[in-house]
Amino acid sequence: MRFIVQILVNTLAIFVADYLIKGIIFEGDLLTLFIAGFLLGLINFIIKPILKLISAPLIVLTLGLFTIIINIVLLWLLEYFVPELTIVGFWSYFWGVLIISLVNMFFGTGRKKKD
């Protein structure tokens, strides 16, 4: 159930980033948007921990700012797998990562459950 919520939140995050950022263009339909949300969830679940483990010294050295670069790489990977998604320029990636992260923080499953 938690993964389904994460897919929906990722779908919403991609939609919001597409709406707010000029350099992020999504030209697919709603099903493709859900597929992109699913792929972003898989990428974050499988590849992100591996990249964070490999680059742990850089993350510590930059006081956590290197995680933004990791998230940019993961967003680039999503763009590679979803042809309907086009991101133009570094700043579009940067702001896209920030918006997707904020939407995930606000709506995501990362919040602790109330006892």
| Cα(18)–Cα(37) distance, integer angstroms | 13
pLDDT of residue 37: 94
Indicate the angle between helix axes 30-54 and 2-20, nearest 10 degrees.
Answer: 100
Q: How far apart are the first and last CA of the chain?
A: 18
Q: Per residue in 24-33, pLDDT tens?
A: 999 989 999 9
pLDDT of residue 108: 72
Mean of per-residue pLDDT scores for the chain:
91
Q: Per residue in 33-69, pLDDT tens?
A: 999 999 999 999 999 999 999 999 999 999 999 999 9
Q: Are 14 and 28 in contact (CB under 8 A)?
A: no
Identify the bridge partners of residue 85 per DSSP, sorted by sequence position.
26
| Cα(53)–Cα(50) distance, integer angstroms | 5
